[in-house]
Amino acid sequence: DGPILIVGAGQAATFTAEALRSGGHSGDITLLGDESVGPYHRPPLSKAWLAGELAGTAEPIALALRTPEMLAKKQITLRTGARVEAIDRERATLTLANGETLPWAGLVLATGASPRSLPIPGIDAAGVLPLRSHADAAALAAGLADCRKRGLPLVVIGGGFIGLEVAATARQHGVAVTVMEAAPRLLGRVLTPQLSAWFATLHRQHGVELVLDARIVAIEADAAGQVSAVSLADGRSLPCACVLLGVGVAANDALARAAGLACDRGIVVDACGRTDDPRIVAAGDCTARRLDDGSLLRLESVQNATEQARSAAAALLGQDRPFTATPWFWSDQYDRKLQMAGLSQAADDAVLRGDMASGAPFSLWHFRAGRLIGVDTVNDPRTHLLARQWLDAGRSPSPAQVGDAALDLKSLAT
Ligand code: FAD
């Protein structure tokens, strides 16, 4: 029951700490986070929290995942502003940025991920902003308020979830928005062309200007160094007051790599969150999970962080608790909630239930060789839950059953 140190104080770190305590670890558990605040929810930063800031709501949206008092009750120590600089596996210690050295008997790496940048001239101009942390979100909220005041657009670079959520929130609060996506369609890595096109229509209906196949050549700044326009290869230059850089994240695996742990675009872990050092586990956005077929799976989601955290805590306590549940994810844009269950990228067939054009709920069912592998639903949480039950149980309706609008799918599940 020696001390357990947890690097990072985000979603995965917090859930690992709590699972260690509830799982019976009686020694010290310390969260070491490099931000100035304790654990908080990130998803609202592009959604409800940002909307609240733009609406000037008197009551701020509560972001805290756990307060320091809640952690203290479980005898979990939280240290904020504590950046871990190095891990010494031989001595079983780690070093903080302030030079302090701390011993550990077990180590958890839950360092999350960092926004990627782009090699474009002018990318360092003031007002070109990432969105990962609370501090980033506060800067973005100020940037959006500036767009509104000056009547200039926000340019979102990257048509992924974070970029599109911010675009939706900004549009709903009077900010003009242009989204620039390098690929020919939005959300191309995760959605079928059909659903990408549906999202494009949704955003255009709300007044977003979409530039697909965008080739950005430079970001222009004014004399004060503040972003003023984004220039495209076709000669266009779009004036703006703020740019959101939403081009994905890279796992924070540098510490692990420097300590000699296996990393491959993330800290390589097994289904139980173990690294190749039995005393060290990892969880959340910083990991790349080795699957049975040898491939690596990188997920960036709340569910992945919380489930891996529970597995990693169990592993440190000497138990096997593999994370094998169906991956799920959600995204809120305008009044639509997309929920995704399973991983549908390898699908060879998709069956639609409902009418995508009507504004009513619908679902898109993805099959591979006749077996269900994923379901995307819009404003249909009950179908999302049903799909997760099926996928978790390894059961599959047939494409024909899903395609039969008169059939109540729930009757098949029971
Ligand atoms: P994090 O929550 O990022 O925590 C890692 C922490 O470690 C950070 O505080 C970091 O500063 C700290 N750290 C890193 N290195 C060090 C170091 N050397 N020393 C000390 N501390 C360190 N997911 C969904 O499922 N649905 C959504 O709708 C959704 N929306 C999102 C919207 C936004 C704007 C963002 C940013 C993310 C969203 N996500 C969403 C993703 C989700 O928030 C992440 O998958 C989740 O937070 C991952 O948790 P984590 O603990 O792995 O990483």
168-208: pLDDT as tens digits = 999 999 999 999 999 999 999 999 999 999 999 999 999 99
Q: How far is the CA of 284 from the centre of ligand 1 (A)?
A: 8
Superfamily (CATH) of domain 128-245: FAD/NAD(P)-binding domain (3.50.50.60)
pLDDT digits (tens, 9 = 90+) for 309-355: 999 999 999 999 999 899 999 999 999 999 999 999 999 999 999 99
Distance 42 CA to ligand 1 centre (A): 6
Domain boundaries 4-47+55-114+250-316, CATH class: alpha beta
Contact 110, 8 (CB under 8 A): yes
Residue 13 contacts residue 110 (beta carbons within 8 Å): yes
Q: Are strands 93-96 and 101-103 parallel, antiparallel or unpaired?
A: antiparallel
78 C-alpha to center of ligand 1: Å? Answer: 17
CA distances from 337 to 167, 240, 329 (A): 15, 29, 10
Calculate how far, in angstroms, residue 285's C-alpha sits from the geometric centre of ligand 1: 7
Task: With a cut of 70, say whether residue 283 has pLDDT above it.
Answer: yes
Total residues belonging to the chain: 414
Whether the predicted pLDDT of 66 surpasses 90: yes
The pLDDT of residue 31 is above 80: yes
pLDDT at 413: 67
CA distance 406 to 321: 40
Measured from the CA of 85, which atom of ligand 1 is nearest?
A: 18
d(CA 21, CA 373): 35
Q: How far is the CA of 234 from the centre of ligand 1 (A)?
A: 36
Taking CA atoms only, the protein residue closest to ligand 1 atom 12 is 8
Residue 217's nearest CA partner among 231, 234, 235, 238 is 231
d(CA 44, CA 41): 7
Nearest CA to ligand 1 atom 46: 302
Pocket test of ligand 1: the residue of 45, 281, 301, 306 to mutate, having most ligand atoms within 8 Å of its CB, is 301
Ligand 1 atom closest to 249 (CA): 36
**Ligand 1: centre distance to CA 328 (Å):** 16
Asked if pLDDT for residue 59 goes beyond 80, the answer is no
Q: Quick one: pLDDT at residue 414?
A: 58
In which residue ranges of the chain is CATH 3.50.50.60 found?
4-47+55-114+250-316, 128-245
Does the pLDDT of residue 58 top 80, yes or no? Answer: no
pLDDT for the residue 139: 98
Mean pLDDT of 122-135: 98
Q: Residue 149: its pLDDT value, please?
A: 96
Q: What is the CA radius of gyration of the chain?
A: 22
High-pLDDT (> 90) share of the chain, %: 95
- In sequence order, the 6+-apart residues with CB closer than 8 A to the CB of 45 are 63, 131, 133, 134, 136, 137
pLDDT at 289: 97
Q: Is the pLDDT of residue 257 over 90?
A: yes
Residue 216 has pLDDT above 80, yes or no: yes
Nearest-angstrom CA–CA distance, 278 and 305: 20
Of 61 and 67, the one with more pLDDT: 67
CATH 3.30.390.30 domain residues, the chain:
335-413
Give 412's pLDDT tier (boundaries 50, 70, 90): confident
Question: What pLDDT sits at residue 222?
Answer: 97
Burial class of residue 159 in the structure, from the number of CB atoms within 10 Å of its CB (0-12 exposed, 13-18 middle, 19+ buried): buried
Residue 302 alpha carbon, nearest atom of ligand 1: 25
Is-contact 130 112, C-beta < 8 A?
no
Residue 144, H or E segment: helix 134-150
Nearest of 172, 131, 133 to residue 33 by alpha carbon: 133
Average pLDDT along the chain: 96
User: Which residue CA neighbors atom 49 of ligand 1 most closely?
Assistant: 11
Confidence tier at 241 by pLDDT (50, 70, 90): very high
How close is the Cα of 144 to the center of ligand 1, in Å? 22
Q: Give the binding-site residues of ligand 1, using a 6 Å CB cut-off.
A: 7-13, 32-35, 42-43, 45-46, 83-84, 110-112, 131-132, 162, 252, 255, 284-286, 300-303, 305, 329-331
Q: Whose CA is nearest to atom 43 of ligand 1?
A: 42
Q: What is the pLDDT of residue 61?
A: 75
Of the ranges 60-74, 284-298, 316-330, which one carries the lowest mean pLDDT score? 60-74
The CATH fold assigned to 335-413 is Enolase-like; domain 1 (3.30.390)
Residue minimizing CA distance to atom 4 of ligand 1: 10
| Position in ligand 1 atom list of the atom nearest CA 287 | 52
Would you give the end-to-end CA distance of the chain in angstroms?
Answer: 45
Q: Quick one: pLDDT at residue 297?
A: 96
Q: In whole angstroms, what is the distance from residue 363 CA to residue 378 CA?
A: 6
410 — pLDDT class (breaks 50, 70, 90):
confident
Q: Of all atoms in ligand 1, which is nearest to the CA of residue 283? A: 52
In the prediction, which pLDDT does 411 show? 86
Ligand 1 pocket test, pick from 11, 36, 42 with the greatest ligand atom count within 8 Å of Cβ, gives: 42
CA of 325 to the centre of ligand 1 (A): 20
**Ligand 1 test: best mutation among 5, 7, 11, most atoms within 8 Å of CB?**
11
